[in-house]
Structure 1
Amino acid sequence: MKPKNKFQQHVIELSKTLPKITEPQKRWAFKHCFKHIGKRNPKGEITCLECGHKWNGGNSPLADAVLGCECPKCKTQLTVSTTRQRVFKQAEYFGIVTTCGEFQVIRFFHIDVYRKAGEQARYACSEVVQRWLAPNGKEATVARLRAMSIMYYDLWNFGSKLEIRPHHKAHDIDPICFYPRQRVIPELNRNGYDGDFHDINPLALFRSILTNPKAETLLKAGQYALLKHFVNSSTRNIDNYWNSVKIAIRNGYTIKDGSIWCDYIDTLNFFGKDTNSPKYVCPQDLRQQHDRYMAKKQTHQERERLEEQCRKARENEAKFKELIAKFFGIAFTDGTIEVRVLESVDEFFEEGKTMRHCVFTGEYYLRPNSLILSATIDGNRIETVEISLETLKVVQSRGVCNQNTEYHDRIIKLVKKHKNLIRQRIAA
């Protein structure tokens, strides 16, 4: 693709001046980007897949996959794998952080290795993407063409040229490692970069501290976890938390988990707490306080949900009475256990809440062929009974959390004994 403006023209001209990857850089990448394998066969023979040397490793535990071993010939540290596989192919990405002109440049290389037992390992390295970042945050992407594929979007056409390309997610590469020697523009050093990415994608980190003064402040204040969270999160705006962040920085409080801390601040705001107070913003045990307020919020939301359910359920009170009103007043006892019909939606709610089952949330009060009764002793609910109005049989009788109580059989026997009361109301 041809450059469309002076900025892209300038980038592509500078790109042509970038040096090729050096042999030491390649050797470092080949060494650190792949696991080096010693293939061990069932007889105990180990083959180094780097140089092809073979020797008898015996059955010593030193040759297992945990401790590994060293090739006697090429001195490569190997991870031993007992397998019958003979060909091993692997591909990774490797990055170099450098500068060119006034730009910060991150170069990405596709490296692959072909290993076969008894042969020298064959490595290949090709530059596929360059990300160019100006001091003002303006960006350009230089990359090779990609082949069309349904499953993969990084099938590079290695015969194509490195040219200006429209940004694509294939260009957002997260390499397995970066070459340790870096060159950065002065603006990054000025804005707090000290050579450590702090487990943040370098391009995203550089872009943030060059374009957002708040990100620069977080980096200089050592709030790395919070900076990482805001850089990686697409749903949270740092501005919404900035006053609380300043309180934390002012009080020397280091946030260890950015996601949990932001969740915690959101919950404090939900309950109207003072998020400008160090008492709340700087908890000694962040996770404990987070879990405490989240549980409190969950209880609050559950209560609101139940209240909303009750409100909607009460709208069905007339329909419930139309279905069941003729059974109101039915009650019987054996002297200890009393059984009575539930006569309102509110009673269904209290029954379900106390017994911790679904007689309310399952809307049993709207079932036309079911009659729900509550069995109690001295006013304390014991079990909830459902009777089929078609067969007059006990469908179920449930205690707390749907468990049967010691009175279960006695309750069913009592209900069966008095089912004529229900039959009379049906016939009336």
Structure 2
Amino acid sequence: MKPKTQIQIEVARLSHRLPHITEAQKNHAFRHCFDHIGRRSAKGVISCTECGHSWQGDGALADILCECTCPHCGTELKLLQTRRRVFRTISYYSVITTCKQYQVIRFYYVKATHKVGQSAEYSIDEVVQRWIAPDGKVVTVARPRAMSFCYYDLWYLYGDMEVRGKNNVKAYDIIPCATYPRQRIIPELRRNGFTGEYHNILPFDLFTAVLRSPQAETLLKAGQIALLSYYANRQSWNIADYWSAIKICLRNGYIVSDASVWRDYIDLLRHFDKDTNNAKYVCPADLQTAHDRLVERKRARQERVQLLERKRRAAEEEQQYRDLKSRFFGLVFVDGDLSVRVLESVQEFIEEGDAMHHCVFTNAYYEKPNSLIFSATVCGRRVETVEVALDTLKVVQSRGVHNSQTEHHDSIVNLVRRNMPQIKQRMTA
């Protein structure tokens, strides 16, 4: 696209002044961007795909080493026993430098062709430049690129390096396999706390975060690397909402070990109206345990809310239950002090579930057309809840408090089985 803004015009002019990649940078890219392969044949002959030299390997075929050193060129090789003779690989390489007041990250598209018996062939072409101003503004200069669902690296290597618009700038986000170790850094980055360590953060993400955000600068200088990495990778995260809690950590020397878990933990503290300005809550000794405890508490609260909502809707479901099971209402089986009777309303399901501490209500057994639920009592005291399958006329289960089996279990099951003809009679009435 044609440069429009003042910074784009300046970057387009400066881009043509950048020097070509040096031989030292090329050699570093060729050494570190690829696995150098030693191809081992079925007869144990090892071929160095870097220089083309071949030699007889030592030991039996079962004793294949993972790697070895070529005796001719000294290259460390990764051994592969295969019939392949040609290995083609692509990779990306970056050079970090400066131009005028800009921090520049240059990306190169590197291709390697390794053939058994021949020296390796390499090519390297610059495809993207990311220009970062001291205030964090970014201009991307790149070659044209075809975006395809199946093929990702379709560069028009003979196309011009031009300023690219913001609409497709994400297409030029590249993760390099290696970076040239000799780097030039603008003074603004060093002022903001960068000392040469990237902390497993991509250079582009780290540079833009530290230059744009005073909070990221503070995190870097304070050694809060987990929070810095989380923010650099998610710059859409509104860190201001958590900054007061972060300052509590800074004042107390508390280093956040897992930023994602810590953020969820702060959200949970707010959910339970805890004081997020109190180091007692914000700086837990065991972050994971404190987080899991609040997660379990929130889950229990949500279950209680859902249960209350279901109880509120019970009156609406009452008529549906009556339509399904009213023919069985009034069924009572008695044997001495033992009594087994059908639950005749959704409200009775609620009372049964609350008293017995099981899921007869929460799992909506009253909605199951082929399930008939009885409550078994001894001297008027609930002891078990019985489920009968109407399609098979069998006792499916009989559960006491917390789904246990009581001393009356066998008597209850036998009483219901003896009275199955009454249930069958009600079904055919």
Q: Distance in 1 between matches of 2:143 and 2:403?
A: 64
Equivalent residues in 2 for 1:164-313, closer than 5 Å:
164-167=163-166, 168=168, 169-233=170-234, 236-313=237-314
Relative to the length of structure 1, the TM-score reads: 0.89
How many residues in Structure 1 have an aligned counterpart in Structure 2?
424
Number of the residue aligned with 1:4:
4
Asked if the contact 2:93–2:109 (Cα under 8 Å) also holds between the matched residues in 1, the reply is yes
SS at match of 1:315: helix
Q: Distance in 2 between matches of 1:83 and 1:26?
A: 29
Number of the residue aligned with 1:92:
91
Equivalent residues in 2 for 1:106-125, closer than 5 Å:
106-125=105-124
Partner AA of 1:19 in structure 2: P
Partner AA of 1:78 in structure 2: L
SS at match of 2:118: coil
Task: Indicate which of 376, 380, 387 corresponds to 1:385.
Answer: 387
Number of the residue aligned with 1:320:
321
Q: Distance in 2 between matches of 1:407 and 1:48?
A: 80
Number of the residue aligned with 2:23:
23
SS at match of 2:237: coil
Cα pair distance change 1:366/1:285, threshold 3 Å: closer
Q: Distance in 2 between matches of 1:377 and 1:257?
A: 55
SS at match of 1:164: strand
400-409 or 379-388: which moved more? 400-409
Alpha-carbon distance, 1:273 to partner: 1.1
Report percent identity of matched pairs. Answer: 49
Number of the residue aligned with 2:341:
340
Q: Distance in 2 between matches of 1:250 and 1:210?
A: 23
Cα pair distance change 1:314/1:179, threshold 3 Å: farther
Asked if the contact 2:383–2:406 (Cα under 8 Å) also holds between the matched residues in 1, the reply is no
Alpha-carbon distance, 1:136 to partner: 1.5
Number of the residue aligned with 1:419:
420
Asked if the contact 1:39–1:82 (Cα under 8 Å) also holds between the matched residues in 2, the reply is yes
Number of the residue aligned with 1:37:
37
Q: CA RMSD in A?
A: 2.9
Gaps of 5+ in 1: none
Asked if the contact 2:389–2:395 (Cα under 8 Å) also holds between the matched residues in 1, the reply is yes
Q: Distance in 1 between matches of 2:184 and 2:378?
A: 81
Asked if the contact 1:65–1:81 (Cα under 8 Å) also holds between the matched residues in 2, the reply is no
Deviation per residue, 1:219-278 (Å, 9 max, x gap):
111101001112223663101110110000001111111111111111111111111111
Number of the residue aligned with 2:76:
77
Alpha-carbon distance, 1:58 to partner: 2.3
Relative to the length of structure 2, the TM-score reads: 0.89
Cα pair distance change 1:334/1:54, threshold 3 Å: farther
Q: Distance in 2 between matches of 1:271 and 1:156?
A: 53
Q: Distance in 1 between matches of 2:47 and 2:185?
A: 42
Partner AA of 1:55 in structure 2: W
Asked if the contact 1:98–1:184 (Cα under 8 Å) also holds between the matched residues in 2, the reply is yes
Q: Distance in 2 between matches of 1:58 and 1:376?
A: 82
Asked if the contact 1:247–1:276 (Cα under 8 Å) also holds between the matched residues in 2, the reply is yes
Q: Distance in 2 between matches of 1:144 and 1:286?
A: 46
Cα pair distance change 1:323/1:117, threshold 3 Å: same
Cα pair distance change 1:25/1:375, threshold 3 Å: farther
